[in-house]
A and B are shown apart, each in its own frame.
Chain A
Amino acid sequence: MWKLAPALACGCTIVMKPAELTSLSALRIGELALEAGLPPGVLNIVPGPGRVVGDALVNHPDVDKVTFTGSPGVGRGILRGAAGNFKRVSLELGGKSANVIFDDADLDAATKAAAAGIFFNAGQVCSAGSRVLAQEAVYDEVVERLTARAESLRIGDTADKGTALGPVISEKQMKSILDYVDIGEKEGATLTTGGRRVGDRGYYISPAVFANVAHEMRISQEEIFGPVVSVIKFRDEADAARIANGTAYSLAAGVWSRDIGRTQRFVKKANAGTVWINTYGYTDVRLPWGGARDSGFGREHGAQALETFTEPKSVWMNLNV
């Protein structure tokens, strides 16, 4: 809806390729759109594999603009394909967002929010707080609290309203995430909880907390897109900023401290399209959303989005006629 709504509001017409693994909602909304009176052809939906349907759209000479949410690898391919007719491109790609907890933070609130920030939707969120940076003095307590939160999450049937953690999207993703857990252990990080398949039906993974993670480790640099958090120790403000900014991504960050100056200094230094202060994860269509580098470019939401779906025209009119 983040893409459909502004495009339609601007008077665009659309060919949509929904994610192959989750096409049903999009198709149902397409049906409702017709019922709402959307004229035929305004919204077209073509499910299918990215490399076939997506490529065809990206390469089509009569398509003016492409907007994409997904992995940096695919994003790169889209940019290349768009070069054909210089399509306008918006990309919302990956993240490895840092949730930074200073020693004067409200640790209860910070760790509850940090756990929600990584385990919501089993970590399958572009802005997941997949790194928690904890200042030296509170590091051990942060690890303990995150571990306890992870273990308290109810994993279960997604149709059950009491379930907090569901499966990951596919078998392929499940394998990839379990591989990363393996990599983390081999790199020398300490798995304090989780990181194993749960049951033998459904792609469930128990939420994982890695302690003693070094900034350069793969589990600290690469997007896992699963319920796995890496907890990294930092010394001071400069160290926190260096580590927070030290990945290829720049989608979002969080900072926890009761010191206003400290939070503002972090906001200033953070390479992130969105920064949360003493909270995490909120988005609203009224606030710009996006990042840079491996997080993509351009901003969704708000009035910004309208500019990405319209083409300016300058007109001179002689009134002396």
Chain B
Amino acid sequence: MSIAYDYHNTTTTAAIPHKQLLIDGQHVESVSGRSFKTLNPATEEVIATISEGNEADVERAVSAARRAFEGRWSTMRAAERGHILLKLAELMKQHADELAELESRDAGKPIAAVLRQDLPSAIDTLTYYAGWADKISGDVVSTRPRCADLHGARAGRRGGRHRALEFPADDRHVETGAGAGLRLHHRDEAG
């Protein structure tokens, strides 16, 4: 669902957009039903009302995050996670003018600064980390003979629990799905 912003109409008779929480892929009202107003600091006008969350909404959100962590986000290929982040960066570029104007009004930042600095920096950050998605891996450390010792990274989250990492014994290269690549190299085999 996208909300159209009427950037050119700043009179108080204009309909003020209402924004909701984002939980589990849905735009929802807060459990309490309360909202707060947000102002443009340059004009002191109300530019939106926003649904106001509380502990109950945090509970819903954390549960949703847990389910997502143990679901598709964990099992998809790391590279696909990177692709999604790149797609988001692309969408931000396409919507650059809209995002810049929104940030400028919401935070009272001069638009030139947002276009020159804030927005490109955000897109660059996203693009940079998108590239890391499939390059997070661990090490094989030599300790005892006939033993592969792996030090891998496991994705943590705001709300995570342990995920089991499995590797078929006869595969030389194993990459797990979620944020933790473990590459198992046998010492007597070439790279």
List chain A positions with a Cβ less than 8 A from chain B: 1-2, 4-15, 17, 20-25, 27-49, 52-53, 56-57, 60, 62-66, 88, 120-122, 157-170, 201-204, 283-286, 303, 305-307, 309-321
Contacts and interface: CB of A to CB of B under 8 A. Distances in A.
Interface size class of B (residues with CB under 8 A): 35 or more
B168 to A, nearest CB: 11
B50 A159 contact: no
Interface string B122-144: 10111011101100101000000
A53 B53 CA distance: 6
15 contacts: A10-B136, A22-B106, A29-B88, A34-B22, A38-B84, A45-B21, A48-B52, A60-B159, A158-B109, A163-B110, A166-B41, A311-B154, A312-B152, A313-B154, A315-B152
A52 to B, nearest CB: 5
Given A63-B159, A306-B136, A37 B84 contact: yes
B43 interface: yes
Interface of B: 1-3, 19, 21-26, 30, 36, 38-39, 41-44, 47-48, 50-55, 57-59, 61-62, 64-69, 71-74, 78, 81-82, 84-85, 87-88, 90-92, 95, 98-99, 101-113, 121-122, 124-126, 128-130, 132-133, 136, 138, 146-161, 165, 167, 169, 178-180, 182, 184, 186
Given A11-B179, A53-B54, A64-B158, A160 B41 contact: no
B114 to A, nearest CB: 9
A304 to B, nearest CB: 11
A162 B115 CA distance: 12
B2 A49 contact: no
A41 B161 CA distance: 16
Contacts of A167: 41-42, 108
A28 to B, nearest CB: 6
A62 B63 CA distance: 9
Nearest to A302: B128
Contact of A64 (B125, B159, B165): B159
A5 B148 CA distance: 32
A13 B69 contact: yes
Nearest to B48: A24
Contact of A36 (B3, B52, B84, B153): B84
Contacts of B2: 31
Given A166-B110, A285-B128, A319-B146, A310 B50 contact: no
B24 A32 contact: no
A40 B26 contact: yes
Contacts of A307: 153
Contacts of B180: 11, 310, 313
